[in-house]
Amino acid sequence: MDIYTVLLVDDEEEVIQVIQKKINWEGLGFSVIGYANNGVKALEMVEEYQPDVVMTDIRMPYMDGMELSKRIKTEYPATKVLIFTGFDEFEYAKEAVHLEVEEYILKPVNSVELTNVFTSLKIKLDQEISEKRNAETLKKYYMESLPFLKTNFYTTLIEGRIRENEVEKYLTDYQITFEGPYYCCLVVHTSSTQVEKNMNPVLLAMSVQKQAKEFLGEKWKAKYFSYLGNTVMIAQLANESAVSELTDDCDRFCRYARRMIGAVVTVGVGWICSNILELSQSYTSAREAVSYRALYGTSRAINIKEIAPQETGRFETVNDTEISSLFKVIRLSSKEDVIEEANKYMDHIFQPSKSLQHHHIAVMELVSILYRFAANNDISTEAFSGDMGELYGRLIEMAPDALRKWFVDICLAFQENLISSRNKSTKSFVLRAQEYVRDNYGNAELSLDSICEVLGVSNSYFSTIFKKETGKSFISYLTDYRMDQAARRLLETNEKSYIIAKEVGYTDPNYFSYVFKRRFGAAPSRYRTEHGKIEK
């Protein structure tokens, strides 16, 4: 039996306590994950916990229940909203209907009424999830996939096998439109190992494809199809900067898929291009981005531009399977794995039975490939400096064991350089955000969205990196910094609390006092008195 989560919202804690005790939540198939005493706090908890149901009062400080319901319905449409209130007013009820609120309940709420409401809601939630998980429905989704000719065209396009003079004919014959002006490949990877019991992995992947189309398709005018066990989507963007918003939407979809249909999904976001003939390179980079789930985790979107700004050239042209596999290991795996893969490559490429001429050609190609990888990834090419001909000559004369050691050492040096660059890039990225907070904390409009816009990254990637480096979410860091500045002003100046509130980015003095007390355990005026300043 599915257990659904409930968030309770009311500024009267005793009301919350009564509601929690009035009904047998577990027996009805629900679990109360917590409560909030105002709409702002509730919205933060909805973002963090993604509850199935929010039960909220109307009259609350900072953000009332109607505004909270509107925000939830807009940003988290799968979450059900119940309103319970002491106000039996037609306008409230009318607005609740407009917002498609599940129930409008008048206080005081009795246990029988509340039990009936949640019993009905449980049946509705079960039906919705059953429809998405039902095997017959999944088979129907499979039969409704794109027609063969369109799928074949998209597949051929990302494989780079369509010539420029053929494009227009294909688009006309298959009634396909690409408006652009920019395009981006998404690789939607559904784990085949992390699957719920009795769930068919193939049918689950098709369900994810269907949900991805519904979640992302219309907004991003996306084409979608199956390819090599994944769903590939071709998104269309109005401008290049829209890729950050696209990444955040993909990230929300991954969490949605995990919660609604039990699928572990990772979305790789490739490079942006302005010509559909370049989609093959965008696809290659998106598939590479999915590989980075080993570093950044699953059930999220991974944008190749964000995770490897210095590790990947615009488009990598190496097609050799063995060397591509080695480079992947250099980026993602351990030192031991690099040594093993490098030796495996040498065993395959430099076989004793091959001719001396073939050996010379193999050495030249090896140096060329290594040099190109170093250049594409902003790695020092010191090992290749000087006369390239002299380097070729030296390597050709090396004994097999010496050449093997040189190659393994180069691969390990590449790995160390990439790790160092990644760490420096991440720390620099966080430092820029912290410096921006120090310079702009007084701006009431400063938010997660605005800092990501300044840095040119998606919310999901920024939030992950910032918390990993600082131990705090960005909003917590910003709030703490503002409170520290407010505390300093309270002790060093005689300014009124409402003036200080405005100076540190709060337009509502009451909410400022609420946040300040939550941080320091005392209201601003009392804090000032206890620490040596008296507000006049």
Q: What is the DSSP letter of 182?
A: E
| Continuous H helices in 398-458 | 400-440, 448-455
Query: Does the pLDDT value for residue 250 go beyond 80?
Result: yes
Tell me the per-residue pLDDT of 288-324, one tens digit each, with 9 for 90 and over.
Answer: 888 878 667 789 999 998 876 544 444 333 345 677 7
CA proximity to 233, closest of 154, 292, 289, 300: 154
Mean pLDDT of 107-117: 86
Location of each CATH 3.40.50.2300 domain in the chain: 4-133
> Percent of the chain beyond pLDDT 90?
45
Measured between alpha carbons, how far is 95 from 280 in angstroms, rounded to an integer? Answer: 49
The topology under which CATH files domain 4-133 is Rossmann fold (3.40.50)
Question: 369 CB contacts (<8 Å, ≥6 apart)?
Answer: 318, 320, 323
Measured between alpha carbons, how far is 389 from 226 in angstroms, rounded to an integer? Answer: 47
Using pLDDT thresholds of 50, 70 and 90, give the confidence band for residue 141.
Answer: low
Measured between alpha carbons, how far is 277 from 167 in angstroms, rounded to an integer? Answer: 9
The topology under which CATH files domain 441-530 is Arc Repressor Mutant, subunit A (1.10.10)
Which pair of structure tokens corresponds to residue 9? 């919202």
Token pair 């001909």 is at which residue? Answer: 389
Measured between alpha carbons, how far is 154 from 156 in angstroms, rounded to an integer? Answer: 5
**Confidence (pLDDT) at 240:** 92
Query: Does the pLDDT value for residue 249 go beyond 70?
Result: yes
Using pLDDT thresholds of 50, 70 and 90, give the confidence band for residue 106.
Answer: confident
**Confidence (pLDDT) at 310:** 41
Helix axes 279-291, 148-158, angle to 10 degrees: 80
Residue 205 in 3-state DSSP?
Answer: helix
Mean pLDDT of 35-39: 92
| Averaged confidence pLDDT in the chain | 85
Location of each CATH 1.10.10.60 domain in the chain: 441-530
Report whether 57 contacts 85 (CB < 8 A): yes
Scored b (16 or more CB within 10 A) or e, 101-135 reads bbbbbeeebeeebbeebbeebbeebeeebeebbee
Query: Does the pLDDT value for residue 98 go beyond 90?
Result: no
Tell me the per-residue pLDDT of 515-525, one tens digit each, with 9 for 90 and over.
Answer: 999 999 999 99
Tell me the per-residue pLDDT of 386-438, one tens digit each, with 9 for 90 and over.
Answer: 666 778 778 877 767 778 888 899 888 888 888 777 666 666 778 889 999 99
Which pair of structure tokens corresponds to residue 431? 């430092």
Question: 515 CB contacts (<8 Å, ≥6 apart)?
Answer: 479, 483, 506
Query: Does the pLDDT value for residue 332 go beyond 50?
Result: yes
Measured between alpha carbons, how far is 358 from 364 in angstroms, rounded to an integer? Answer: 10
Token pair 């100046």 is at which residue? Answer: 493
Location of each CATH 3.30.70.270 domain in the chain: 146-307
The greatest distance separating any two alpha carbons of the chain, rounded to the nearest whole angstrom, comes to 93
Provide CATH code, domain 146-307.
3.30.70.270
**Confidence (pLDDT) at 437:** 93
Q: What is the DSSP letter of 292?
A: T
Please tell me which residue, 243 or 1, carries the higher pLDDT value: 243
Report whether 240 contacts 275 (CB < 8 A): no
User: What phi-psi label fits residue 87: left (phi over 0), alpha (psi between -120 and 50 degrees) or beta?
Assistant: beta
Tell me the per-residue pLDDT of 342-360, one tens digit each, with 9 for 90 and over.
Answer: 888 888 766 654 555 676 7
Measured between alpha carbons, how far is 205 from 197 in angstroms, rounded to an integer? Answer: 15
